[in-house]
């Protein structure tokens, strides 16, 4: 276990990629103030050392540090590095499965990103990519990191009959599709799964599994991973009482390529945004309408008729809609370069239409 050595990479193993987060965090006063900590302090090899005794016999783990950060600081270039590492590792015959330790703050974005760029590859190759993390730092008395990491390793290594390869999230004894990870509470122990369709790990729920199968078969082709310097600039803007036209107009001519509007209710936005949004569309800025409520569907032309070219986010939250729009803009650009007349809306619709697990 520990860092990659070439001999070990030839024999079957689970690859554990460390990215930081609270799972790798340390508190100064763990007993009295477990929530006052710094994320990204402990190395991935040390985290694996903590669960060594419990790892099933015969299973080899190899760890690799990608970064060791607080995920609030996650960058697009790190996402590129992550997807390229996952794709090349999936294609390595010696890799049986992949676990990624990640901060929970932006795991929602990484979950969708990996589904859209690596989900088909994982499914086709019959391997699992598993995101996990923790809500408490490693030295807190009730630290959840070790059990989450162990569960993630188990899920990555045991291909239960009929349970497909793909991109998953594992927390608090439960599994979900990584695209459904969503931190919807600041501190609750199961925060990343609170709002997600899940199954207990030890007794796979048949209706959840049917939902996974439906989503996986609907996802026909992975999207290209943007090169580090090719990520389109996309911002999220929230509509609220007293919203001003300048919130939109200040982006005109800025170089921004897309705006995700986190609207109120069913995705409506403030009347004062109408004129500047028309100007934004006319200047070629891509627009997606999501909802700031955090749940429910945003449908086309509801609550009002959409301006032409603007897409509704469906069930995508605004952080997910932002990743989806970036990948859709990039995919359209790549397609156009090889003469395929596809638009970002074509790609975005494929993402927003993915069936939800109920």
Binding mask 9-28 for ligand SIN (x = CB under 6 A): -----------xxx------
For residue 150, cis peptide bond before it (omega within 30 degrees of 0): no
CA distances from 247 to 236, 238, 276, 334 (A): 11, 9, 9, 31
Nearer to ligand SIN, 74 or 287 (CB): 74
**71 lines the binding site for ligand SIN (CB under 6 A):** yes
Nearer to ligand SIN, 21 or 34 (CB): 21
Partners of 235 in the β-ladder: 259
**167 lines the binding site for ligand SIN (CB under 6 A):** no
**123 lines the binding site for ligand SIN (CB under 6 A):** no
Buried b (16+ CB within 10 A) or exposed e, 129-153: bbbbbbbbbbbbeebbbbbbbbbbb
Residues 80-119 within binding reach of ligand SIN (CB under 6 A) = 103-105
Q: Please report how close the Cβ of residue 66 comes to ligand SIN at its closest, in angstroms.
A: 13
Q: Please report how close the Cβ of residue 78 comes to ligand SIN at its closest, in angstroms.
A: 12
Partners of 32 in the β-ladder: none
Q: Please report how close the Cβ of residue 177 comes to ligand SIN at its closest, in angstroms.
A: 20
Residues 219-248 within binding reach of ligand SIN (CB under 6 A) = none
Selected binder of ligand SIN within 14, 16, 27, 39 (CB under 6 A): 39
Selected binder of ligand SIN within 66, 90, 135, 140 (CB under 6 A): 135
Residues 134, 145: Cα–Cα separation, whole Å: 5
For residue 253, the tally of other CB atoms under 10 A from its CB is 8
CA angle 138–180–297, rounded 5-degree value: 140
Q: CA-CA-CA-CA torsion for 77, 81, 86, 87, nearest 10 degrees?
A: 90
**70 lines the binding site for ligand SIN (CB under 6 A):** yes
Q: Please report how close the Cβ of residue 324 comes to ligand SIN at its closest, in angstroms.
A: 21
Chain contacts with ligand SIN (rule: CB under 6 A): 20-22, 39, 70-72, 103-105, 133, 135
């Amino acid at each position: 276990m520990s860092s990659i050595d070439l001999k070990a990479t030839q024999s079957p193993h689970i690859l554990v990629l460390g990215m930081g987060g609270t799972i790798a965090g340390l508190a100064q006063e763990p007993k009295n103030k477990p929530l006052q900590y710094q994320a990204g302090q402990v190395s991935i090899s040390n985290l694996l050392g903590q669960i060594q005794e419990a790892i099933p016999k015969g299973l080899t783990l190899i760890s690799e540090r990608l970064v060791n950060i607080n995920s609030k600081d996650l960058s697009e270039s790190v996402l590129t590095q992550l997807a390229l590492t996952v794709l090349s590792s999936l294609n390595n015959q010696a890799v049986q499965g992949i676990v990624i330790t990640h901060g929970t703050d932006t795991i929602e974005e990484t979950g969708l990103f990996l589904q859209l760029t690596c989900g088909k590859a994982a499914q086709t190759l019959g391997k699992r990519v598993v995101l996990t993390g923790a809500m408490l730092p490693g030295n807190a008395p009730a630290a959840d990191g070790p059990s989450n990491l162990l569960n993630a390793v188990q899920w990555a290594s045991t291909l239960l009959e009929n349970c497909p390869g793909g991109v998953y999230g594992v927390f608090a004894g439960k599994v979900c599709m990584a695209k459904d990870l969503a931190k919807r509470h600041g501190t609750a122990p199961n925060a990343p799964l609170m709002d997600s369709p899940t199954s207990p790990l030890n007794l796979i729920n048949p209706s959840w599994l049917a939902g996974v199968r439906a989503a996986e078969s609907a996802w026909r082709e992975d999207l290209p991973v943007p090169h580090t310097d090719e990520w389109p600039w996309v911002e999220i803007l929230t509509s609220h009482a007293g919203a001003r036209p300048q919130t939109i107009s200040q982006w005109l001519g800025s170089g921004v390529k897309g705006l995700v509007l986190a609207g109120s209710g069913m995705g409506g936005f403030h009347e004062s945004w109408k004129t500047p949004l028309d100007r934004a569309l006319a200047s070629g800025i891509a627009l997606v309408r999501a909802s700031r409520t955090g749940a429910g569907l945003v449908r086309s032309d509801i609550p009002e008729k959409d301006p032409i070219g603007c897409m509704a986010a469906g069930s995508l939250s605004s952080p997910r809609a932002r990743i989806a729009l970036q990948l859709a803009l990039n995919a359209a650009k790549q397609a156009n370069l090889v003469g395929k007349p596809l638009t970002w809306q074509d790609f975005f619709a494929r993402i927003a239409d993915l069936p939800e697990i109920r």
